[in-house]
Amino acid sequence: MSRAAIYRLLAVAVFLVAIFWFIPFLIDVTGRWNFYYTLTSVALLSVASAGVWLTFYIGRINIGQGAFALIGAYVSAILVTKAGISFWYSLPLAGLFAGLVAVLIGLPILRLKGVYFAMITLVLTEVVRLAALALPITNGAKGIVSIPLPSELSVFDITIIPDFSTIENPKLAFYYTACALMVICFAAMYRIVNSRLGQLCRSMQQNEELAASVGVNIAYLRVIVFAISSFLGGVGGAMFGAIAQSVYPSSFVVKDSIDFMLNCFLGGLGYVFGPMLGTLTLYFGWDLLFELGKYQLLVYSSVLILLILVLPNGLLSIRLNRFRRLRS
């Protein structure tokens, strides 16, 4: 095994120990239980942002991830409250339904130029929000409330996940679930990027005409990637609905779709784990500027613009640039 591979494995091991043991230990010692919800939100937002990053990977700007998060939240809530399906089964179903909607939308619009695709995705979140207001099954503006906590998941009478309502601290249970989902998501993303599919996506990103000339089915790959992206958005939205135990048409709005995109820019579009770092920085950066009052948004926007100008390849490029300087 190469030294680089060993370093990667060590980094992964340290990361897993940190999120699954060290951080909960610190929270328990300090008694800051509210951080469980904060970090759970960061984990789920990074999952949805990972989907947006994947569409960037094929050279498309996706400003509609909030729409698929809202779809996933409603699908899961309807299945749990009205069909009596376990939340754990509704979670992948919500993602699959969001992916199916993405396929139906993507088949016509992914043949368009990139700028037109971005403009259409910009209105998707508002379209889904208006649909949620109008459809009887979504209960209109009242939303779906009193969603029960996730029930027990067992296989062959062996309890895999306990009933959250019987757990003394459901926040901790949601934290572990969200972190596990985030780890699985980014492990899958890393595998996709380093697979044949990832190689084809890179060829599309560099030159679509050249890729098409050697037999790459551009439209087919775009739809697949968009479906995977929307699946991640749907799963993230379903988890948010379970945590809040409610979902409303305003649960995800256009601003959320823009934030998902900014997370990718801030972390680094050239790095698989960019959305994770970008989400963490953006989420806590906004909270740190809360004390500035009415100047919060102004300072926040100025800092973002400055970071994009100084670090066009994202925060993760700092490590790479430093490594190059050391080698030289």
Instruction: For the chain, 328 residues long, give each residue's pLDDT as a single digit of tens.
Output: 677 778 888 988 999 999 999 999 999 998 888 889 999 999 999 999 999 999 998 888 899 999 999 999 999 999 999 999 999 999 999 999 999 999 999 888 887 766 778 888 889 999 999 999 999 999 999 999 989 999 988 888 788 888 898 888 899 999 999 999 999 999 999 999 989 888 888 877 777 777 777 677 788 888 999 999 999 999 999 999 999 999 999 999 999 999 999 999 889 888 899 999 999 988 888 777 777 777 788 888 888 888 878 887 888 888 655 544 444 4
Do 185 and 206 lie in one domain? The reply is yes
pLDDT for the residue numbered 326: 44
Determine, yes or no, domain membership for 120. Answer: yes
Residue of 64, 74, 117, 116 lying closest to 95 (CA atoms): 74
Q: Is the Cα torsion angle 119, 125, 130, 134 positive or negative in sign?
A: positive
Do 201 and 180 lie in one domain? The reply is yes
pLDDT for the residue numbered 247: 96
Tell me how far apart the alpha carbons of residues 133 and 138 are, in angstroms, rounded to a whole number: 7
Residue with tokens 């613009």, as numbered in its chain: 305
Residue with tokens 């709005």, as numbered in its chain: 253
Residue 117: both structure tokens together: 């695709």
Do 113 and 200 lie in one domain? The reply is yes
Do 15 and 132 lie in one domain? The reply is no
Do 164 and 184 lie in one domain? The reply is yes
Do 114 and 10 lie in one domain? The reply is no
Do 58 and 204 lie in one domain? The reply is yes
pLDDT for the residue numbered 320: 55
- Count the domains in the chain: 2
Residue with tokens 């801030």, as numbered in its chain: 266
Determine, yes or no, domain membership for 320. Answer: no
Q: Please identify, among 254, 286, 314, the residue that sits at the C-terminal boundary of a domain.
A: 254
166 phi/psi in degrees, rounded to 5: -95, -5
Determine, yes or no, domain membership for 107. Answer: yes
Do 28 and 74 lie in one domain? The reply is no
Q: What is the DSSP letter of 18?
A: I
Query: Could you list the residue range(s) of the whole structural domain that residue 19 is in?
Result: 1-32
To the question of pTM greater than 0.85 for the whole model, the response is yes
Determine, yes or no, domain membership for 281. Answer: no
pLDDT for the residue numbered 53: 95
Do 110 and 2 lie in one domain? The reply is no
Tell me how far apart the alpha carbons of residues 177 and 56 are, in angstroms, rounded to a whole number: 27
Determine, yes or no, domain membership for 19. Answer: yes
Do 9 and 98 lie in one domain? The reply is no
Q: Please identify, among 235, 254, 273, the residue that sits at the C-terminal boundary of a domain.
A: 254
Determine, yes or no, domain membership for 297. Answer: no
Do 128 and 227 lie in one domain? The reply is yes
Contact by Cβ (8 Å): 227, 68: no
Do 1 and 56 lie in one domain? The reply is no
